[in-house]
Structure 1
């Protein structure tokens, strides 16, 4: 399995590849888990060549403390990938290599997709996401790129980026992979105690209950109900619970039968920020 650390080496490797007929990209920030593995497996099944990037992007973090706490499990990540296949190409650059010694994000107009939910609480986050995704898409030039639906807002922003920049790639959204108790798999879950990991399963339980209620109750009623549920779980601090249009991510005002909706939640568990979402109709 080639592990490549520079842009020039990556481009040289891809240009010399005999199986360039179909190329897939799985962008990650490392600390890989079965959710990432599912993305890689789908990419491998659908493409002749697959690049998995492992890069902790500093411009996605609001502060250095959160960046410093992000787990570094590179050796384990490689072992996980090798269990799937040894045919993927791993691209693991440094920040200086990606940003050419000037670590700064671009500014994008995502037409409001970045102003709600995550964007309302993480200033500049999606400019950082856009910067690294655009860089990787131009560098790798994949036919398909794979993103998990756990970060559904990010997925929609990537789709908007590709459309606005006219980048010739198909963005594939892959279903959320969950732990046995329903907790959405995340690199951050490793920072939770076992007790909190079990407690955090309440997030998904609430989302599923909200989906059931959404069929018969008003959206406002459902959101108010969901928010109140967290009052009985002091170890879980709810940051937001929002029902939004899946295309525009605009928070719902009144149900429209032709519109698809999702419920989104962000919750702190002992300082660890967890997000999840569910399709409602």
Structure 2
């Protein structure tokens, strides 16, 4: 296992790699869990060389306090990766190595998919995601990159970056990994209070309810029922629940339900912790 913390050292190593080797990159912000492990295991199946980057990217945070309290434990992350396969390589850069002296968020055109769902309450978030992803892709020039379905909107933004700048990169979207209660695994889950954890299954239950009642209720009726069920729990607030096409992220409504690959997107604030999830609830005929 190689753990690299300096960009210059990484560039030397990458320059010596055979062009015939298939290189995969798993970008993370650390605080690794079983969802990340799933991404890494998938990368191992595709590649001769696997790199995991660990970098808490400041430009994708709208709130400096949210950035500061993001869980960081590099030693534990290294041990987790080592337990998967000792041939995996790790890049843990400094902010200076990635951004230099000025931390600047680049601007991109995502044809509006960054202005909905997560983009409403987090303006500029996806520009920040794209900024770091583009930098990492330029550094590694990977054959494959791996991201989780849980952040589905993010994967669509990243695909825009790939289409615009990196036509030789293939993105693999891996299924969401869930806890026994259905909660999508996320580094933010560690911030949940004991009280919130008792009722947190309501998020996934709401997605399943939407899937089971896709034709029974209109999208507005579904949202009303789901909002009521969620907010019965003290400290829980539904920020959004929307049905959107998996291919375009356009709204799925009564008129186009049957002909759409429809996905339910949800954001719940549970005792101050903001959690997102999504589920494919209908495949187009």
TM value normalised by structure 1: 0.96
**Counterpart in 2 of 1:115?**
115
In the TM superposition, what whole-angstrom CA distance separates every residue of 1:233-263 from its partner, at most 9, and x where no partner exists? 1221111111111122122233343321110
**Counterpart in 2 of 1:205?**
205
Cα distance in 1 between the residues matched to 2:215 and 2:27:
36
Q: Shift of residue 20 of structure 1?
A: 5.0
**Counterpart in 1 of 2:239?**
239
Cα distance in 2 between the residues matched to 1:58 and 1:182:
29
Equivalent residues, number? 281
**Counterpart in 2 of 1:59?**
59
Assess if the C-alpha contact under 8 Å between 1:200 and 1:236 holds in 2.
Answer: no
Please, which moves more after superposition, 213-222 or 11-20? 11-20
TM value normalised by structure 2: 0.94
Cα distance in 1 between the residues matched to 2:251 and 2:89:
40
Assess if the C-alpha contact under 8 Å between 1:177 and 1:185 holds in 2.
Answer: yes
Cα distance in 2 between the residues matched to 1:184 and 1:231:
19
**Counterpart in 1 of 2:261?**
260
| Structure 1 pair 100–167 and aligned structure 2 pair: CA distance change class (3 A) | farther
Assess if the C-alpha contact under 8 Å between 1:181 and 1:198 holds in 2.
Answer: no
Q: Shift of residue 97 of structure 1?
A: 0.7
| Structure 1 pair 211–168 and aligned structure 2 pair: CA distance change class (3 A) | same
Q: Shift of residue 98 of structure 1?
A: 0.1
| Structure 1 pair 121–259 and aligned structure 2 pair: CA distance change class (3 A) | same
Deviation beyond 3 Å, 4+ runs, structure 1: 17-20
Q: Shift of residue 166 of structure 1?
A: 4.2
In the TM superposition, what whole-angstrom CA distance separates every residue of 1:79-109 from its partner, at most 9, and x where no partner exists? 1001100111101101111011110110000
Cα distance in 2 between the residues matched to 1:165 and 1:46:
22
In the TM superposition, what whole-angstrom CA distance separates every residue of 1:129-177 from its partner, at most 9, and x where no partner exists? 0000011111101111000011000011101121122432001110000
Assess if the C-alpha contact under 8 Å between 2:114 and 2:126 holds in 1.
Answer: yes
The answer to whether the aligner puts 1:229 opposite 2:198 as a matched pair is no
**Any idea what SS the aligned residue of 2:213 has?**
helix
RMSD in angstroms over aligned alpha carbons?
1.4
Q: Shift of residue 18 of structure 1?
A: 5.0
Cα distance in 2 between the residues matched to 1:198 and 1:142:
41
Assess if the C-alpha contact under 8 Å between 2:26 and 2:145 holds in 1.
Answer: yes
**Any idea what SS the aligned residue of 1:214 has?**
coil
Cα distance in 2 between the residues matched to 1:219 and 1:71:
36
Structure 2 unmatched ranges of 5 or more: none
**Counterpart in 2 of 1:250?**
250
Assess if the C-alpha contact under 8 Å between 1:19 and 1:48 holds in 2.
Answer: no
Q: Shift of residue 46 of structure 1?
A: 1.2
**Any idea what SS the aligned residue of 1:90 has?**
strand
In the TM superposition, what whole-angstrom CA distance separates every residue of 1:26-74 from its partner, at most 9, and x where no partner exists? 0000000010000000001111101100000000101210011001111
Q: How does 1:1-281 map to 2 (within 5 A)?
A: 1-17=1-17, 21-253=21-253, 254-281=255-282
